[in-house]
Amino acid sequence: MNQGCPTNPMTYWKTLLALLIIAIVSSPAFADDIAEGRQLYLRYCASCHGIDGDGNGPLAGSLTTPPPNLRQLSLRYGNPLPRDRIARFIDGRADVKAHGTRDMPVWGERFYAEPNGSEAATRERIRKLVAYLQSIQTGARTASR
């Protein structure tokens, strides 16, 4: 038996996924995305979600719906986070109005309306926010796909 390869296929794929995540997160380009995402987060999100993403920002107490702890998104959505799903939630432009009110601002509209706002620039900002959110996860549940 080969000692270097797990016998359980699920263990093998989970290990491979973990190694891939480590490789991506440790790449210099991804590190830049995380740093830029953090700056965006501090500018746009920290007032509600807190500097550390724990949901205890200075405005949290005045909100009707308490902001979630963003450090534990992986407990709900799996780890790695489903980037497209998290990005759509941040963007907010695709929400169906019939599904009820939205407590969080629609950042896609706000980013698009800013100077030099374009669809590509809006997607890039949201991508960097998602990269930052991935980097602060404390939950350990792996995504089941």
- At 30 the three-state DSSP class reads helix
Is the confidence at residue 60, as pLDDT, over 60? yes
Q: What is the pLDDT of residue 95?
A: 74
**Residue 80 preceded by cis peptide, ω within 30:** yes
pTM: 0.74
From the list 15, 141, 11, 39, the residue with the least C-alpha distance to 81 is: 141
Q: What is the pLDDT of residue 56?
A: 96
All structural domains of the chain: 17-135 (1.10.760)
CA dihedral (34, 36, 39, 45) in degrees, to 10, reads -70
Do the beta carbons of residue 41 and residue 129 sit within 8 Å? yes
pLDDT 10s digits, 63-102: 999 999 999 999 999 999 999 999 999 999 887 565 566 7
Is the confidence at residue 27, as pLDDT, over 50? yes
pLDDT 10s digits, 99-135: 566 788 899 999 999 988 899 999 999 999 999 999 9
144, amino acid identity: S
Query: What is the SS3 assignment for 76-135?
Result: HHCECCCHHHHHHHHHCCCCCHHHCCCCCCCHHHHHHHCCCCCHHHHHHHHHHHHHHHHH
Whose structure tokens read 């807190």? 50
